[in-house]
Structure 1
Amino acid sequence: MFLSPRWIALLCAALITTITVVFISFVPQTSADIMFVGGISCFISSFFFIYYVIDTLVFREVNKIYTTIKKLKIQDFDIAKKTIIKSINPLSKLNREIYNYVSKKQEEINELKKMETFRREFLADVSHELKTPIFAAQGFVHTLMDGAIEDPDVAQRFLKKAAKSLDGLDILVRDLVVLTQVESGDLKMHLALINLIEIVNEIFEQLETKAKKRGTKLSLKPKSLEKVLVLADPQRISQVLINLIENAIKYGKENGKVQVAITEEDKKVWVSIEDDGPGIPQDQLPRIFERFYRVDKSRSRETGGTGLGLAIVKHILNAHDSSISVSSKIDKGTRFTFHLAKAPKEIA
């Protein structure tokens, strides 16, 4: 319902006049002329007073506020002036809209603060991760330049160490490039029909040497599975499985076991990778998919890795409309679980 200042003043004046005339009528010896003159006087004075108050203190101030908002070019404030003026309670409506706008902006500010904190931490982490292999390689090269190159045995040993540091630097840079491409959407997933069992067995063969060094037994459950078709990017899903299985070998028990379990449903195939290692503390589980986050930093340095693997895994699976979850118990092991889209029955 639209009530302009005039209509509001008119209704209020009519109400006040009616009440006034009724009260006058109860006064003894009051003539009709007196009631008429009193009613007219009351109506006119009430009308102009109420109209002035409402127009000056409400509608004009609302117009000023709206004009100020427009001058500030607040694009997100999309309420029309007409809807405010035609509102029964324009101040309430304007206040509600401003509150919604401020709440939205506060959320954006909080998000920007989080992103700024994340940016600072990320730059600090990248600087630290790059500094370690660069300084190591630099030290070996300068030692060789200072005369160690004259000794063939020392030169060979230092060159191998420098090459190892540079190889680690190359892996880190490549992981950063992949992670950036996946997060920005530049790295597209090329979905194809793949046999998940075949890929898991190939990865077992690739990691067989590393598994033997730690005495780790690799197994696929159930053993009877020979063919499980899913729609996924073969290269990226292989990257996901290699990362998870390799981590399970690295951080699991020596002479332990790593089990890959596959479960089929109507439209999904669930994959879990489980080790019997020391496990991950519950308070650290939410952070393990962050860039450069390591549960055991000292051991992570010994076993290698860039600290970006799980972050890459998470984003690759997100690009497959999937997600990864983790559960862990101290001294009992850790399990990572994700799902992939199952191939249609007519294709399978």
Structure 2
Amino acid sequence: MLTGSRGISLILAVAISTLVMAFLSLFSASNSLILGATWVLCFSISYLLITIMLEFLVYREIGNIYSLLEKIQKKELSEIHDKSLRSSLSPLRRINSVINSYANARQREIETLQKNAEFRREFIADISHELKTPIFATQGYIHTLLDGAIEDKQVRMKFLKRAAKSLDSLDILVQDLLTLNQMESGVIKFNFSEFDLKDLILEVIEELEHKASKRDVKIIFDFDPEKKYLTLADRQKIYRVCQNLIFNAVKYNHNGGEVKVSLKQQKSNIQVEIKDNGQGIPPEDLKRIFERFYRVEKSRNKKEGGTGLGLAIVKHILEGHKSKISVSSTVGKGSIFSFSLPLEKKEIKEVVES
């Protein structure tokens, strides 16, 4: 009955008021009325102050600590908030704050682990699907040949070519996975050299012109022929970036569409922009297109080919160059991908002087 805050306050108030009354009784001027009034006054003040101290500065904070511990035990970490800690005057505030910080840290770890677990599940499902297609296709062609079709020279050559094509796709997928993994782990080193970005893009366009002509897609390159677009970067990897972006602009465009590649020289960098007037990308997919194996329309994209790793590799290459890939898109109107590379110092001087 007397173990609560009020019981403890009662005992301490009685003890304090009794001691004060006993001390005053030593003086001859004290009488029973003064002693009684003193006892009542001391008891009231002591009881009130001790109750407030125990209730608001001790018991309430201990209750908060127990509440935090119960939530941690029940793994209800998302319900933990630290707003009450900022205005608390209790000496137990530090303990409460430490427990709260610990709980929030565990909550963040749990969220990270859940995201990683979900990513692993998606990755395993995606990689299994991507590997299954060329492996099953190759198995089908080989087993058909072993079952007797090998005797027919025309069928034999046809199936062997298809099997080889499936194995080539499998090799590209494995190589892309290795490249992406090495980039994420920092194993691949970048070999920076000076080159003209204009010449590199012209090479990429020349390589892709045949594929573009098959779909009657026109590639337009907008640049100033009087200028040099010198930059310091890894030429081979930037070639892959431009190749992937321009190829995607052609692949996901409609027949008779247009792809416009622009080079813009700014004060300290070169802006590269690849714009198409194809089908566009829905807003809900824009944030995920740079993830491994993510495809906007999986059924259609599978027919178009590709490993689903191209944009993920582009992102990591540009991050290795301290740059970022940006994208904006309108469904039915097309997409714009852009990135920038540093302008070489001597080119910067010419821009400033002009």
Q: How does the TM-score come out when normalised to structure 2? A: 0.74
| Greater Cα shift, 145-154 or 324-333 | 324-333
SS at match of 1:193: strand
Deviation at 1:262, TM superposition (A): 1.4
Match of 1:268 in 2: 269
Q: Residue 344 of structure 2 aligns with which residue?
A: 343
Residue of structure 2 in register with 1:140 after alignment: 141
Q: What is aligned with 1:243?
A: 244
What does residue 89 of structure 1 align with? Answer: 90
What CA distance in whole angstroms lies between the structure 1 residues aligned with 2:249 and 2:204?
A: 13
1:106 and 2:107 matched: yes
Aligned to 1:170: 171
Which amino acid is 1:250 matched to? K
SS of the counterpart of 1:278?
A: coil
Structure 2 alignment gaps of length 5 or more: 1-11, 70-88, 350-354
Q: Give the match's secondary structure for 1:307.
A: coil
Q: Give the match for residue 79 of structure 2.
A: none
Shift of 1:20: 6.0
Secondary structure (helix, strand or coil) at the match of 1:317 reads helix
* Aligned pairs (5 A) from 1:246-261: 246-261=247-262
- The question of whether the paired residues in 2 share the 8 Å contact of 1:197 and 1:225 is answered with no
* Whole-Å separation in 2 of the counterparts to 1:147 and 1:196: 54
How many pairs are equivalent?
Answer: 298
* Other-structure match for 1:126: 127
Distance 1:274 1:157 in 2: 39
The structural deviation recorded for 1:32 is 5.2
Q: Cα deviations across residues 111-162 of structure 1 (Å, max 9, x unaligned)?
A: 1100110011101100110000000001100100111000000000000110
Offset from partner CA, 1:54-78 (integer Å, 9 cap, x none):
8xx96xx99xx9xxx9xxxxxxxxx
Match status 1:219 vs 2:220: yes
Amino acid at match of 1:31: A
Take 2:116 and 2:231, find their aligned partners in 1: how far apart are those partners?
36
- After superposition, residues 1-348 of structure 1 pair within 5 angstroms as 31=29, 89-224=90-225, 226-345=227-346
Supply the AA of the counterpart residue of 2:255: E
CA distance 1:33–1:137, shift in 2 (3 Å): same
Q: CA deviation at 1:226?
A: 4.1
Aligned to 1:5: none
Residue deviations 1:295-344, cap 9 Å, x none?
22222222210011011111111121111111112222111011112222
CA distance in 2, matches of 1:188, 1:89: 55
- Residues of 2 paired with 1:245 and 1:303: CA distance? 15
Displacement of 1:227 in angstroms is: 1.3
Deviation at 1:288, TM superposition (A): 1.2
Distance 2:213 2:139 in 1: 33
For the 8 Å contact 2:212–2:219, the answer to whether it is kept is yes
Q: Is the 8 A contact 2:291 2:312 kept in 1?
A: yes
Sequence identity of aligned pairs in percent? 51
Which shows bigger deviation, 108-117 or 228-237?
228-237
Residue type of the partner of 1:200? I
Shift of 1:249: 1.0
